[in-house]
Chains A and B, each alone.
Chain A
Amino acid sequence: MICFVALFVFVVLAIFSAKYRPLAKEAFDCVFKRLTLRPCESGLDERIKATLVSSVFSKSPKAAAALNKHFELFSWVLTLLMIVSLAYSTVGVYNWWAYGNCNGPDQTGFCVFNALTGEHTQYSDCGANATVHPLTPPTSLRGEASGPESAKVVLIEFGCFECKYTKQAEPTVKQVLQDYSGRIRFIFKPFPLPTHNNSRVAEQAALCAAKQGKFWEYKDALFANQDALNTGERTVLMEAAAQAGVNESALAACLDSNETASEVEAFYQEGAASGLYGTPTFFINNRSLVGPKPFESFKTIIDEELAK
């Protein structure tokens, strides 16, 4: 039976290291022979047994003797544990796919898949020294808004134009707005993360564009030019303006006068008061989502809020 466990272990190890591939093949051969009611001739089971018993022997000869005598039982127990853990993993993968968290809906526990992929992570690394703590929903509805004011569900996003995770969340946000068009109100609050040096001026520029009624177009253009934003060159802001149909001279004058700086600072203070530790942070009514979550995460909460 130990070959079944060995197959799983060596296959996983073989993904990361070529030296385990012959062992994975050997284990597969052994499992295949066992399934076809033939003896495993490679001796892999003997080697595993000898290795395990010898390792235990150095700690406790008595335990080694027990392990040696009941090795088949031990193998069965390991195999069953493996099957159970596989079942749990399968459920976890489903939850991850369905809810963006392998622990299930509305759970915030550690999810290994998030850690592996770096996507849909509970912790956006856009925040410096990010620590997880409860978030307080913002008290104001200030910000660039779309959708009916009377909507039952309000989706607020604190986003940073220089944050790759905010950009990563954009397609999902757009899908949410499209699928729930007319049923939710969306409010975007610029949140200049301190770790992104050029974020604050970009957000000032976005609010300047808003004065020309071009906020959403300019927002898209800023994300499209996100890599160039890092240079801190004003020409990048101007190129984005040109792409978004924003009057460049008016934008430049607005920036030069620093007239939107206080607004940006106010949004920043609001986010800080809510306890933001990264972007994007979403509030759906009073419930929060941090990071570029999958569509299903938004859908679950929005549907529940709409159903209330």
Chain B
Amino acid sequence: MDVEKIRGDFPVLRSGVTYFDSACMSLKPTQVIEAQDEYYEEYSGCAGRSLHKLGKKTEEKFEEARQKVAKFVGASPNEVVWTRNTTEAINLVARTLDFSKKNKVITSNMEHHSALLPFLIPAKQGTLKLEYVLADEEGLTHAEDWKKKIDEQTRLVVVHQTTNSVGTRAPLKEIIKAAHDNDALVLVDAAQGVPHVETNFRKLDADFVAFSGHKMLGPTGTGCLLAKAKLLEELPTFMVGGETVEHVSLDSVTFLKPPQKFEAGLQNYAGAIGLGAACDYLTKIGMRNVEEHEKKLAKKLFEALSDVGTKIYGPAEVKNRSARAAFNVGKARPHEVAMMLDKIANIAVRSGVFCAEPAMIHLGAPQGAVRASLYLYNTEAEVDYFRETLEKIVKLY
């Protein structure tokens, strides 16, 4: 994997920024930008409704993008529902799944707000029962704890593939097996997983997988819900309107087959086509190569943070983590450190509670932390530069 060549594909990097905020937003390669531009400049039509050439080409490219995404994650195209992002995908499941017979939902205290709130709100309203698996002090959840919580009353298990806060990974295989043994469904929040590790929907055997395009080199406003075809058939519609229906009369509606019945209104064609190009890009590089590269970066990153003397949240062992770290510098407030990294050295990191406040409280950082999250375009030299800058900042305190 030629990182320098890869870096040449990312126009933003030409500004000289050291971009360590990919867990929030990944940068976009020229190939993705051009795929979107091509739609706008050459065939900007409506898919599925207009019969002219532009409309047909849009339809063709839009569905081709669905196929690319499906192939990338090991799913069938009819199992891929376009959404705006992971949040919408999770809300789709939360709002449409039938909880009338079994209403228990199991999740953990390490989840992103987007995975938590769609279930916390109905739980507060009494329409479902929400139980938590608590992570250990390092932020890891253990299979035994999930198994203890999952029982015959469980309707759905909501679990992260990788936490966005500290990058820990959940024991998905065991969780999914335990859930299925109890006739429960599993929704995996893969927003931080799909972009970084090879993910195969079929092999994973989860019932639902949600992820965003913008974290995997794709355009903003793109995301997917992967769901087993049978489940999509059973689920009622989420939002309705144009595109979701086959026939409408004043007293009846016949909906399209999934996934189209969940895709209300004019879709984000340019975004979907861009996400397809992002899948092509990542496929060409190879997700295993991406993963290996990130492992090297993670090792160097954690060594740097440890040597500099920061307080690192999450497990001590790098093998249990992705190339991201949440840390604090002495008594310095996280936003201060993040701003100094930006202003002193043009290093972009995230600070705060990362939309995972319960997780950060659990890890002992209620005021938040600084998060450095790396991706395929980052280099070990950048980690060295980050380390040097951080050393200077530590001396300020």
Hey, which chain B residues are within 8 Å of A64, CB to CB?
Answer: 396
**Interface with A: B61-69, B118-126, B162-170, B331-339, which one?**
B331-339
Structural contact, A57 and B395, CB atoms closer than 8 A: no
Question: Does B340 sit within 8 A of A, measured CB to CB?
Answer: yes
A55-B343, A57-B344, A58-B344 known; A50+B336 contact, CB < 8 A:
yes
Hey, which chain A residues are within 8 Å of B343, CB to CB?
Answer: 50-51, 54-55, 57
Residue of A whose beta carbon sits closest to that of B393:
A57
Structural contact, A46 and B339, CB atoms closer than 8 A: yes
Dominant secondary structure of chain A at its interface with chain B: helix
Residues 330-368 of B at the A interface (beta carbon under 8 Å): 333, 335-340, 342-344
- Kindly state the separation between the CA atoms of A132 and B193 in the bound complex, as whole angstroms: 75
* Smallest beta-carbon distance B26→chain A, Å: 25
Residues 124-179 of A at the B interface (beta carbon under 8 Å): none
What number of A residues sit within 8 Å (CB to CB) of B? 16
Interface residues on B, range: 10 to 19
Question: Does A11 sit within 8 A of B, measured CB to CB?
Answer: no
Structural contact, B333 and A53, CB atoms closer than 8 A: no
Structural contact, A47 and B396, CB atoms closer than 8 A: no
Structural contact, B335 and A46, CB atoms closer than 8 A: yes
Residue of A whose beta carbon sits closest to that of B352:
A43
- Kindly state the separation between the CA atoms of A43 and B337 in the bound complex, as whole angstroms: 12
Hey, which chain B residues are within 8 Å of A51, CB to CB?
Answer: 339, 343
Residues 317-341 of B at the A interface (beta carbon under 8 Å): 333, 335-340
Residue of A whose beta carbon sits closest to that of B343:
A54
Hey, which chain B residues are within 8 Å of A58, CB to CB?
Answer: 344
A65-B395, A68-B397 known; A46+B333 contact, CB < 8 A:
yes
Structural contact, A50 and B396, CB atoms closer than 8 A: no
Interface centre among B339, B392, B395, B397 (most CB of A within 10 A): B339
Residues 375-397 of B at the A interface (beta carbon under 8 Å): 392, 395-397
Dominant secondary structure of chain B at its interface with chain A: helix
Hey, which chain B residues are within 8 Å of A68, CB to CB?
Answer: 396-397
Residue of B whose beta carbon sits closest to that of A49:
B336
Question: Does A61 sit within 8 A of B, measured CB to CB?
Answer: yes
Give the contacting residue for A61; candidates B336, B338, B395, B397; CB below 8 A.
B395
Hey, which chain B residues are within 8 Å of A47, CB to CB?
Answer: 335, 339
Hey, which chain A residues are within 8 Å of B340, CB to CB?
Answer: 50, 53-54, 57
Interface string of A184-196 (1 = CB under 8 A from B): 0000000000000
* Smallest beta-carbon distance B372→chain A, Å: 17
Residue of B whose beta carbon sits closest to that of A66:
B396
Structural contact, A61 and B392, CB atoms closer than 8 A: yes
Hey, which chain B residues are within 8 Å of A43, CB to CB?
Answer: 333, 335
- Kindly state the separation between the CA atoms of A49 and B339 in the bound complex, as whole angstroms: 9
Hey, which chain B residues are within 8 Å of A54, CB to CB?
Answer: 339-340, 342-344
Residue of A whose beta carbon sits closest to that of B392:
A61
Residues 86-142 of A at the B interface (beta carbon under 8 Å): none
Interface string of B159-180 (1 = CB under 8 A from A): 0000000000000000000000
- Kindly state the separation between the CA atoms of A54 and B343 in the bound complex, as whole angstroms: 6
Residues 37-60 of A at the B interface (beta carbon under 8 Å): 43, 46-47, 49-51, 53-55, 57-58
- Kindly state the separation between the CA atoms of A48 and B138 in the bound complex, as whole angstroms: 33
Hey, which chain A residues are within 8 Å of B395, CB to CB?
Answer: 61, 65
Structural contact, A50 and B392, CB atoms closer than 8 A: no
Hey, which chain A residues are within 8 Å of B396, CB to CB?
Answer: 53, 57, 61, 64-65, 68-69
Residue of A whose beta carbon sits closest to that of B339:
A50
Please name 19 further chain A to chain B contacts, defined as beta carbons within 8 Å, in addition to the given A58-B344, A68-B397, sorted by A numbering: A43-B333, A46-B335, A46-B336, A46-B339, A47-B339, A50-B335, A50-B336, A50-B339, A51-B339, A53-B336, A53-B396, A54-B340, A57-B340, A57-B344, A57-B392, A61-B395, A61-B396, A64-B396, A69-B397
Pairs across A and B, CB under 8 Å, 7 listed: A50-B339, A50-B340, A50-B343, A53-B396, A54-B342, A55-B343, A57-B392
